[in-house]
Amino acid sequence: MNKPLRRVAIFCGLLVLALLLRDNWLQFVRADELNAHPKNTRVRIERYANERGNIVVDGKPITGSVDSKDPYYRFKRTYADGPMWAPVTGYASQAYDANQIEKIEDGILTGNDDRLFFDRTLAMFTGEKKKGGDVVTTLNSAAQKAAFEGLGKKTGAVVAIDPKTGKILAMASTPSYDPTAFAGYSGKDEKAWVALEKDKNKPKLNRAIREVYPPGSVFKVVTAAAALENGEVTNIDAPTDTPDGWKLPLSKVEMVNHSGGCANASLNRALEVSCNSVFAKLGDDVGRDKMVETAEKFGFNAEQFTPVRSSSSVYDKKADRGGNALSSIGQFNTATTPLQMAMVTAAIANDGKLMQPYMIDQLRAPNLDVIKQTEPKEMSRPVSPQNAQLLQRMMENVVTKGTGGNADLKMDGVKVGGKTGTAQHGEKNAERPYAWFISYAKTAEGSPVAVAVIVEDSAGTSREDISGGGLAAPIAKAVMKAVLKTRG
């Protein structure tokens, strides 16, 4: 071969090699990136070419698929009771992608998950249409309905947990939205999406897990736990040596109590009538570092995954003594999600054992074979069984004698423990306060449900009438009652 031909051959060989390298680079190295690229419409078209699997509650699907007759995006997602379940399901839209369970378990629901390879291969030989798998949740439909209807037109959220397992039984957030309204690709869907994006009430925000609020007095159960665990209180009925005008450290400001009988009140009495002075002093006695340690054992200062991500609740690690004392009564920088306060309540109700919260029980193949089963997992032990039972005694006292009477179920063999909270916020506390209530119901077999409720705003309710016992406790009562009834 002469020299020019050899050069041409070498050059062509290098081109072929470059082509092979480029092809392999695209197919193997960048495959996932290109598949997930927002401009790759082929992937989106394929996602909606077949019926999507369902999200299941109590054995029944709360989602579905309908033939949209669109030549590209054939099957459109539908939702039963969409606004009620939206904080759980999220949405799956042909135009606007997906979120929450619809996004996290998209592979199972579309049938594209590697764990469904055998099902896809078998369908190729049998000629069956490709199908998506199902996501079976831990949710209780009666509890969810009670939470959603209890909130009604109020702005707020509810989370209910089974303390013994960590199963999430209800997760409601209002105002909500209907994910069916923008599940398609039409101009009508676009209008619905744009309206939601512009809505100042943020109906797409899942307040149960993504919004953090000042907890106010419901945080006092955490401070009580810290005081017991660190030996600052050994007898919950003994005086705490707290003057009524106790001053904040590094300040001349006296703590204000909104009820009488707080001077030297016992821990039991202080929780019953919610004495700010007693709990602020206890937080100072325990000290910032130990308060942080206890709060973090309950889950503060860390994101939670249910598997949907929850925002971190916050207990300030760098506060000075005055800031720590205020943090101990749920003020200063303390902030929490409703999920976090449900976790606190669940741990106390479960004799000090905090279980990892979760809301997906099973992932199922189209033929109903179980691909994955979630097993309950212990997360931490924030308090000893003995101290947890003391906390239960105090919380039950709040319901029978104190501010939580509206949550009392008055059912034979059922004890209810709770704590009210009215959280001030805004500059100089000028905004309308938030109404909190945390509670659990307990039978001889243990506690089947713990609940956290926050009412962020209630139209038509005067500022003076906003209270955890008045607005939030009845909602918690309805949720607990629904869970107990479904257990027979």
Measured distance CA(72)–CA(46) in Å, rounded: 9
Identified catalytic residue from 93, 141, 176, 217:
217
Mean pLDDT within 70-96:
92
Residue 27 pLDDT? 65
pLDDT tens readout for residues 114-150: 887 666 565 655 556 778 899 999 999 999 999 999 9
Average pLDDT, the chain: 89
Neighbours of 67 (CB within 10 A): 9
pLDDT tens readout for residues 12-41: 877 788 787 777 665 666 655 655 565 666
pLDDT tens readout for residues 380-398: 999 999 999 999 999 999 9
Measured distance CA(94)–CA(337) in Å, rounded: 31
Mean pLDDT within 208-218:
95
Strand partners, 362: 136, 373
Residue 19 pLDDT? 80
Nearest to 343 by CA among 203, 219, 487: 219
pLDDT tens readout for residues 41-52: 666 666 777 889
Residue 483 pLDDT? 97
Q: Is the pTM of this model over 0.85?
A: yes
Residue 465 pLDDT? 39
Instruction: Name the residue type at position 18.
Output: A
Confidence grade of residue 463 (pLDDT, cut at 50, 70, 90) = very low
Characterise 159 by phi-psi region: left (phi > 0), alpha (psi -120 to 50), beta (else). Answer: beta
Instruction: Name the residue type at position 37.
Output: H
Mean pLDDT within 65-93:
90
Annotation marks residue 462 as catalytic: no
Percent of the residues in the chain that have a pLDDT greater than 70, as a whole number: 88
Residue 437 pLDDT? 96
Confirm if 307 and 104 have CB atoms less than 8 A apart. Answer: yes
- Distance, C-alpha 219 to centroid of its chain: 17
Residue 5: pLDDT over 80:
no
Measured distance CA(356)–CA(353) in Å, rounded: 10
pLDDT tens readout for residues 281-326: 999 999 999 999 999 999 999 999 999 999 999 999 999 999 999 9
pLDDT tens readout for residues 154-198: 999 999 999 999 999 999 999 999 999 999 988 899 999 999 999
Mean pLDDT within 458-484:
75
Report strand pairing: 134-137 vs 55-57. parallel
Residue 467: pLDDT over 70:
no
Confirm if 394 and 271 have CB atoms less than 8 A apart. Answer: yes
Measured distance CA(118)–CA(126) in Å, rounded: 12
pLDDT tens readout for residues 360-384: 999 999 888 899 999 999 999 999 9
Residue 185 pLDDT? 87
Confidence grade of residue 430 (pLDDT, cut at 50, 70, 90) = very low
Residue 11 pLDDT? 77
- What is the number of residues in the chain? 488
Residue 41 pLDDT? 66
- What the chain holds in terms of domains, given with CATH numbers, is 216-363+378-486 (3.40.710.10)
Angle at 56 between CA 360 and CA 439, to 5 degrees: 60
Residue 331: pLDDT over 90:
yes
